[in-house]
């Protein structure tokens, strides 16, 4: 069942088209990565999905209800967290969460706040003002606010930015658990491609306001044909470089290590040709293409 | 419209008030300074002009009643600014909070703060000069109501300007209400204003209230016409300011709520 349907969504700012006629849907319990280079139209789309930016054209439906007509009922079941939006800095964590709990009319407010601060490991910070918190702590408070109303749909803008790796990992597992237990549907924007590959079922890639790809992270990565072949050259580094230059192959050199982009199915032939040229290597590793490669390919084209 | 959401916004403003020494001092510091300055000035005038016995009463009631207008306007605009400075409008409006609920919360918080400042100033006026404001009797209620309505429409108008043009026009939050003060004839009769200013005063609802207040001090009653004209003007301006604020909010949504800084 689709919990969100977007049809022909467009946003124009004077002569500039920020979002150009995009359509997509989000299924119940699905985690959707919303990716694209800076200025691609991700934030503009998220803002329209949250009702804080009026679309120029198009329709947004949550739970089969028109967003403009049923804004209140819909937003009671939706929430949002962004590393880049702030909560009042003079208020304490508890005051901010209390405000949110009243806004969403949460039953057993105190119990919910106590539970949510435990989940996000911010119990020790509960009586501290927001101005006293570090960037990572602020991100966790923002996430706690986003989960306070048991949302059915969550929009998360860079949810793990500025978090320590262990906390970021904990949050990713928490998101996956929430999806498993409560079928929460989540849209994530992130610049951490490894994170997107780990948690997202599907990825929408947006560029210049248009959707240019909609597939699984694996599916997108597979569209990249080249792998990275890393060699520790024992003998013949100069010959290897010449070989790459003659074939116009991309490579990066670091000491005696060389990383060469090679079309996946041509790797055996490539290695044999290197040996024929008298190149010897001590180590070899082959990295298959990732979502990161897909992202880089798209951004390099633009 | 949901009461719990209005309560949430009011609660948040009260949390902010409790933690903002600048806002606390705003509520009590300026009324005290005004009372001291103007009170002592009028005591001095009374000492050199023994016939002007009502001068303290006129000045004190002017100061006390103007607090209502000032707080009503100030709370609406400064609370909006607080959300802009905190970059927090987006967090509020991604929730089910409706525009009208937010406006009502601003009104409620304005009433609470006006009541706090006014009560404090009343107490100080009694303590320093033995002036009791309750001599207005039943007229006290319509007078307060009309003055706070003025505070609201000025506040909504300024809030609309701030939403539309951002914090670069935030100075209006502190200055706009002062624009109508000379035409409100707070401490002097309308008749001493130049002709052009008297015309402006005729369309300024507070001028009728302060003229009426002085009538009560002089004769113990006020012509109901004055209060009715003030009410009509206030209602018209209130609708216009709300329309302007609503329009500004719609404009903001067209360019994105996060871009209003």
**What tens-digit pLDDT sequence spans chain B (261 residues)?**
899 999 999 999 899 888 888 878 888 888 888 888 888 888 888 888 877 777 888 888 898 899 899 988 988 898 888 888 887 888 889 999 999 999 999 899 988 988 888 889 889 888 888 888 777 888 889 999 999 999 999 999 999 999 988 888 888 888 888 899 999 999 899 999 999 999 999 999 999 999 999 999 888 888 899 999 999 999 999 999 999 999 999 998 988 876 555
- State the helix-helix crossing angle for A109-119 and A93-103, rounded to 10 degrees: 130
CB atoms A79 and B94 under 8 Å: yes
Contacts of A91 in chain B (CB under 8 A): 12, 15-16, 19
Judged by a CB distance cut-off of 8 A, whether residue A296 touches chain B is no
Query: Residue A197: how many CB atoms within 10 A of its CB?
Result: 18
Per residue in A167-187, pLDDT (tens digit) is 888 888 888 988 998 999 999
Q: Distance from CA of residue A263 to its chain's centroid?
A: 27
Q: Is B204 exposed, middle or buried (0-12, 13-18, 19+ CB in 10 A)?
A: buried
Is A260 in contact with A229 (CB distance < 8 Å)? yes
φ, ψ for residue A155 (rounded to 5)?
-115, 115
> Is the Cβ of B253 closer than 8 Å to some Cβ of chain A?
yes
Residues A172, A174, A177, A178: what is their CA dihedral angle, to the nearest 10 degrees? -110
Q: Does B4 touch chain A (CB under 8 A)?
A: yes
Among chain A residues, the shortest Cα distance to B254 is held by A54
Bridge pairing between strands A185-189 and A153-157: parallel
Record: contact B4-A145, CB cut-off 8 A: no
CB within 8 Å: A47 and B257 = yes
Both structure tokens of A96: 């901010």
pLDDT score for B259: 58
Q: Which helix (DSSP H) or strand (DSSP E) does residue B156 occupy?
A: helix B140-165
Q: Per-domain residue ranges for chain B?
A: 3-259
Nearest of B88, B98, B86 to residue B4 by alpha carbon:
B98
The pLDDT value recorded for residue A302 is 59
Q: Which domains does chain A have, with CATH numbers?
A: 2-221 (3.40.50.300), 225-301 (3.30.70.340)
A31-35 and A185-189 as β-strands: parallel, antiparallel, unpaired?
Answer: parallel
Q: Do B258 and A47 touch (CB under 8 A)?
A: yes
Residues in chain A closer than 8 A to B79 (CB atoms): none
What crossing angle do the helices spanning B55-85 and B205-219 adopt, rounded to 10°? 150
- Rounded CA gap, A9 and A153, in Å? 19
What is the pLDDT at residue B138?
86
Q: Are A146 and A184 in contact (CB under 8 A)?
A: no
Q: Which residues of B, range 166-185, sit inside 8 Å of A by Cβ?
A: none
How many residues are listed for chain A in this entry? 302
DSSP states of B48-59 as a string?
Answer: H-TT-TTHHHHH
Burial pattern A49-87, b for ≥16 Cβ within 10 A else e, equals bbbbbbbeebebbbbeeebeeebeebbbbbbbbbbebbb
> Does B15 contact chain A (CB < 8 Å)?
yes
Packed helices A135-147 and A109-119: angle between N→C axes, nearest 10 degrees: 140
Q: What is the ipTM of this complex?
A: 0.83
**CB-based contact, B86 to chain A, within 8 Å:** yes
Contact between chains at B95 and A51 (C-beta distance less than 8 A): no
A299, pLDDT greater than 80: no
Residues of A in contact with B20 (CB under 8 A): 90
The string of pLDDT tens digits covering residues B139-174 is 889 999 999 999 999 999 999 999 988 888 888 888
Residue in B7, B95, B258 nearest the CB of A104: B95
Mean pLDDT is lowest, of A55-64, A143-152, A219-228, A277-286, for: A219-228
- B126 SS3 class: helix
- Would an 8 Å CB–CB cutoff place A13 in contact with chain B? yes
User: For residue B197, what pLDDT is reported?
Assistant: 95
- The residues, any chain, with a CB within 8 Å of residue A136's CB and separated by 6 or more, are A162, A163, A164, A167
Element of type H or E holding A17: strand A16-27
Q: What is the pTM of this model?
A: 0.84
Contact A75 B95 (CB under 8 A): yes
Calculated CA dihedral for residues A25, A29, A35, A40, nearest 10 degrees:
40
Nearest chain B CA: its distance from A95 CA (Å): 7
Taking alpha carbons only, the member of B67, B65, B62, B217 closest to residue B135 is B217
Q: Which of A80, A85, A99 sits opposite B87 (nearest CB)?
A: A85
Give the tens place of pLDDT for each residue, A230-272.
999 999 999 999 999 998 898 999 989 999 999 888 899 999 9
| Chain A hits for B5, Cβ within 8 Å | 102-103, 105
């Amino acid at each position: 069942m689709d919990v969100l349907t977007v049809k022909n969504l467009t946003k124009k700012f004077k002569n500039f088209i920020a979002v150009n006629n995009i359509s997509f849907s989000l299924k119940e319990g699905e985690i959707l990565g919303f990716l694209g280079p800076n200025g691609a139209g991700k934030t503009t789309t998220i803002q329209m999905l949250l009702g804080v930016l009026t679309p120029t054209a198009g329709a947004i439906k949550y739970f089969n209800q028109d967003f403009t007509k049923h804004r209140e009922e819909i937003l009671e079941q939706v929430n949002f967290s962004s590393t880049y939006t702030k909560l009042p800095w003079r208020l304490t964590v508890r005051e901010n969460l209390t405000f949110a709990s009243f806004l969403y009319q949460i039953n057993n407010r105190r119990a919910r706040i106590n539970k949510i601060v435990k989940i996000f490991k911010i119990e020790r910070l509960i009586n501290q003002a927001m101005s006293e918190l570090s960037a990572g702590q602020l991100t966790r408070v923002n996430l706690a606010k986003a989960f306070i109303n048991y949302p059915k749909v969550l929009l998360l803008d860079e949810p793990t930015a500025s978090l320590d790796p262990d906390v970021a990992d904990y949050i990713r597992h928490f998101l996956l658990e929430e999806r498993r237990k409560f079928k929460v549907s989540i849209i994530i924007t992130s610049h951490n491609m490894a994170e997107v590959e780990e948690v997202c079922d599907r990825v929408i890639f947006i560029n210049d306001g248009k959707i240019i790809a909609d597939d699984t992270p694996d599916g997108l990565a597979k569209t990249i044909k080249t792998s990275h072949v890393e060699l520790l050259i024992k003998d013949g580094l100069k010959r290897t470089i010449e070989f790459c230059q003659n074939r116009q192959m991309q490579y990066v050199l670091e000491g005696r290590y060389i990383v060469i982009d090679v079309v996946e199915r041509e790797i055996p032939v490539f290695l044999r040709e290197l040996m024929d040229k008298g190149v010897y290597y001590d180590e070899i590793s082959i990295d298959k293409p990732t979502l990161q490669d897909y992202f880089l390919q798209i951004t390099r084209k633009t | 419209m949901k009461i719990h959401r209005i309560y949430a916004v009011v609660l948040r403003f009260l949390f902010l008030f409790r933690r903002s020494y600048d806002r606390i001092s705003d509520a009590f510091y300026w009324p005290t300074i005004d009372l001291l300055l103007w009170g002592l000035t009028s005591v001095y005038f009374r000492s050199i002009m023994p016939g002007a016995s009502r001068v303290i009463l006129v000045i004190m009631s002017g100061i006390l009643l103007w607090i209502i207008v000032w707080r009503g306007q100030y709370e609406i605009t400064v609370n909006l600014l607080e959300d802009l400075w905190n970059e927090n409008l987006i967090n509020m409006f991604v929730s089910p909070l409706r525009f009208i609920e937010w406006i009502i919360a601003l009104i409620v918080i304005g009433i609470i703060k006006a009541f706090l400042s006014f009560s404090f100033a009343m107490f100080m006026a009694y303590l320093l000069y033995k002036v009791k404001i309750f001599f207005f009797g039943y007229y006290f209620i319509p007078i307060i109501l009309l003055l706070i309505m003025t505070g609201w429409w000025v506040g909504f108008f300024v809030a609309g300007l701030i939403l539309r043009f951002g914090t670069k026009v935030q100075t209006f939050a502190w200055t706009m209400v002062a624009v109508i003060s000379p035409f409100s004839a707070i401490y002097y009769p309308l008749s001493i204003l130049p002709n052009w200013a008297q015309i402006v005063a005729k369309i300024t609802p507070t001028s009728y209230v302060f003229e009426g207040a002085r009538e009560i001090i002089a004769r113990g009653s006020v012509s109901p016409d004055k209060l009715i004209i003030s009410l009509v003007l206030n209602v018209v301006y209130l609708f216009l300011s709300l329309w302007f604020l609503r329009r500004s909010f719609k404009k903001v949504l067209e360019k994105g709520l996060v871009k209003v800084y």
